[in-house]
Structures are given as C-alpha cells and as structure tokens.
Amino acid sequence: MYIDIIDFLSEDHYEYSASAFEMGDNAGDITYNNAMDYAKNNPFATSEQDIRAVKEYFKGFGAWEDVDSWNWEEINALLTQLIAGSLRQVENYPSFNAWLEGMVRGECESIDFHFVTYENGKFILRDKAQSYAIYYIGV
C-alpha cells in the first residue's frame, strides 16, 4: 500500500513519535493522543480497503490481538505514529543521502522521495509542483 505523505513532511514528527527519554514517562500517551488529533483531520487510510490493508499490516507485528476491533481513527493514529517514527530515523544518519542509502539497504522503512531533501532538521520541498513523498507498507 502506498501512502502520500507530502503534507505530513512539514509536521513536527516529534509530537507523534518520541521516547520517554525525550518527552517523559507519559510519552506514549502524549504522542498517541497527538496522533489521534492529527488523524481525525488528516487520515492516511481513508477507504475500507485501506483500513483492512493497514490492519493486516499491523497484525504482522504480532503485538496486538485486537487489531480487528480498532476503528478508523485508531488505525490512522497508529499509522501516523509509524510514519512519524520512520521519518525521525533520518536523525540517526549523518546526512539525508546516507538515510536514503540506508533505505536501499533495508535498514529503515521505504519512503520514495522526489525533489525532497532534509536540511537543518526539516524536510524541504525543492520543487513544490514536482515534489512527492510516498510511504510504502508491505500489504
């Protein structure tokens, strides 16, 4: 499943994915609530087919037994957190290009960028008309 995340690049991904070290003991609740708020107005999965596909993807993690009972807001909130965490992985690499190379090697989630770069802690659209960012989940 391919998810258009171009508008999400301008968000502060820390608000949706942060550790207890970064945000305190309530980091999980804070980031999940932020993701719920974001997902209500900006869902990534909008059709029934998308929701089913994302549920199947999350089942593959083996962490939750109740995925089938989640509503579309819960699915989209967790998807928001997943995408934010993937975008924050750029911080673990010395450069944007090194991060892209890490994706090719399978070290991090697959995101397809075109006319996008990362400078001074922000994603930059080099050509707004031609820029895109597509997040892929394997379902």
More confident: 23 or 94:
23
Domain ranges of the chain: 2-136
For position 74, what pLDDT does the model report?
95
Cα 139 to chain center, whole Å? 16
Condensed to tens digits (0 to 9), the pLDDT of residues 18-64 reads: 999 999 999 999 999 999 999 999 999 999 999 999 999 999 888 88
Question: What span, in angstroms and rounded, lies between the C-alpha atoms of 6 and 128?
Answer: 10
Is residue 76 within 8 Å of residue 57, measured between CB atoms? no
The arithmetic mean of pLDDT across residues 61-89, rounded, is: 92
Question: What span, in angstroms and rounded, lies between the C-alpha atoms of 39 and 36?
Answer: 5
For position 94, what pLDDT does the model report?
86
